[in-house]
Amino acid sequence: MELLASLAAEERWLFPAFLVMYAAIYCVGQLFVFRRWAPRQRLDGSSCLISLFHGTLAALAAAGAILALPAGFRSFAAPNARLQDHVLDYSIAYFTMDLLHYLAFLPGDVLFIAHHLATLFVFITCRYMVRHGAYALLVLLVLAEVTSLLQNVWTLAGIWRDQSPAAARVYGALSPPFYVLYTLVRGVAGPLFLVKMTVFYLSGQAVDVIPWWVRISWIVVVGTAIAVSNLWIWNLWKELVRERNQATAKSKKDT
């Protein structure tokens, strides 16, 4: 809480410092942490590394920034508080760094590039243009990043599972709990909050502080992101069930 209090009192623009921090972490990943990995694996590992430094911290900071405000200011149309702006800058810096990573090394990964551009559009318009509505985006940030630590460990284990039996065991052990948590957050909590957000913004209650085109674009971007996330986790569930069925059939055959 002391850290959040000091951050709330900070008047400097922190985006450049956050961006430099993520660039440094990325370079450490590329040059040291994953230097023995194959080129593509090293790229994925370095992206996961900066995500590890973003996800959980961003979720905690976003939750703290929400709870730090009086209940009356937790509104979809409330003006952004300074602490909320800092949290948005922290995430904007992360998505900027990861977007540069994809543009430089993986320009064919159109889905991730589109996701990062859309996310940056929402965060930047909230932070620098309308300066209202951070409450809604920070709640969504908590929901999006609460699974980050588990997802990144699962991803790193998945990258290395073909070369390491231990990584394969970790990947297999983490898959069910990660899928369950991700499904609950992205398949239940996220859509419910999106409905609440949509009803508010379409009611016209924020018309004086957030233009219609901004509100509609936020709804479209968030709704699309949730839909794609649910499609992704559905395919993972199908793959997991198929693998378990194949393992069961093979075990019966061997016996």
Q: pLDDT tens for residues 148-167?
A: 999 999 999 999 998 899 99
Q: What span, in angstroms and rounded, lies between the C-alpha atoms of 87 and 140?
A: 13
Number of domains in the chain: 1
Residue 138 lies in a domain: yes
Rounded to an integer, the average pLDDT of 84-94 is 98
Q: How far is CA 124 from the centre of its chain?
A: 15
Confidence class of residue 86 from pLDDT cuts 50, 70 and 90?
very high
Rounded to an integer, the average pLDDT of 178-193 is 97
Domain of residue 37: give its range: 2-250
Q: How far is CA 167 from the centre of its chain?
A: 23
What was the pLDDT predicted at 1? 63
What was the pLDDT predicted at 255? 62
What was the pLDDT predicted at 79? 95
pLDDT tops 80 at residue 3: no
Residue 255 lies in a domain: no
Hey, CA dihedral for 151, 76, 218, 216, is it positive or negative?
Answer: positive
Residue 6 lies in a domain: yes
Show the tokens assigned to 41: 């694996």
What was the pLDDT predicted at 254? 66
Residue 237 lies in a domain: yes
As a dihedral over the C-alpha atoms of residue 87, residue 92, residue 97, residue 98, rounded to 10 degrees, the angle is: 100
- What would the pLDDT profile of 198-234 be if each residue is shown by its tens digit? 999 999 889 999 999 999 999 999 999 999 999 999 9
What was the pLDDT predicted at 175? 97
What was the pLDDT predicted at 141? 98
- What would the pLDDT profile of 7-27 be if each residue is shown by its tens digit? 878 889 999 999 999 999 999
Q: What span, in angstroms and rounded, lies between the C-alpha atoms of 106 and 44?
A: 10
